[in-house]
A = this chain, B = another copy of it.
């Protein structure tokens, strides 16, 4: 139905049935991102033109109302901000489920390089869901490898 890397910018409104969207990590393990029961809107919260990171398929036989993201944009002002927001939440959840503390930190540094110098590291640790001690060791590790 939808596979990682597709640029299928669809939005699925579930009329009946049950969808799931999920990632598959490098070890081949699935991480379900969301179940989509009746009346849920299932989509990859990435920008319409970018490749998807999620797989979407049906767990039960389902009836769907399919729209394109572009259509939705017309109906909803400032949808770009919403996409950004939802997208970052999504990334966050996926990171929390499937990445190590080190990976989450590296991702954070890449994504929000301007935040790092502006907050105490313990706040970054908190954002990443780890302790300041763990973050300290992660950074120690990373600086050695350079």
Q: Which residues of A, 19-51, contact B by the 8 Å Cβ criterion?
A: 20, 22, 29-32, 35, 37, 41
Chain B residue with Cβ nearest A95: B96
Please, which residue of chain B has its CB at the minimum distance from the CB of A112? B35
> Is A61 an interface residue, CB under 8 A from the partner?
no
Residues of B within 8 A of A114 (CB): 37
A106–chain B nearest beta-carbon distance, Å: 17
Q: Which residue of B lies closest to A29 (CB)?
A: B126
Docked-complex contact B20 and A59, CB < 8 angstroms: no
Chain B residues with CB under 8 A of A97:
96, 129
5 A–B contacts from the bound complex (CB under 8 Å): A32-B123, A37-B114, A60-B118, A82-B82, A96-B97
Binding site for B on A (CB under 8 A): 18, 20, 22, 29-32, 35, 37, 41, 59-60, 75-78, 81-82, 85-86, 89-90, 92-93, 96-98, 112, 114-115, 118-119, 123, 126-127, 129
A-B complex: 7 closest residue pairs judged by Cβ atoms = A97-B129, A96-B96, A32-B126, A32-B127, A89-B89, A30-B126, A35-B115
